[in-house]
Amino acid sequence: MRVIEFSGKVRVIVEGDAEGTQTILSNEASVRIVADRVLCLKSSDDVVMEVCIADLAELTADDKVGSLTFTLQRQPGETQLVSLTIGDPRVRSAMYKVVCAKRSMLETRGGQ
Could you give the CA distance from residue 76 to residue 96 in angstroms, rounded to a whole number? 25
Domain count, the chain: 1
Could you give the CA distance from residue 92 to residue 87 in angstroms, rounded to a whole number? 8
Supply the pTM of this predicted model: 0.86
CATH number at residue 44: 2.30.29.30
Supply the range of the domain harboring residue 18.
3-108
Return per-residue pLDDT of the chain as tens, 112 residues. Answer: 578 988 778 999 998 766 778 999 999 999 999 989 999 998 778 999 999 999 999 999 999 999 999 999 877 878 889 999 999 999 999 999 999 999 998 888 874 4
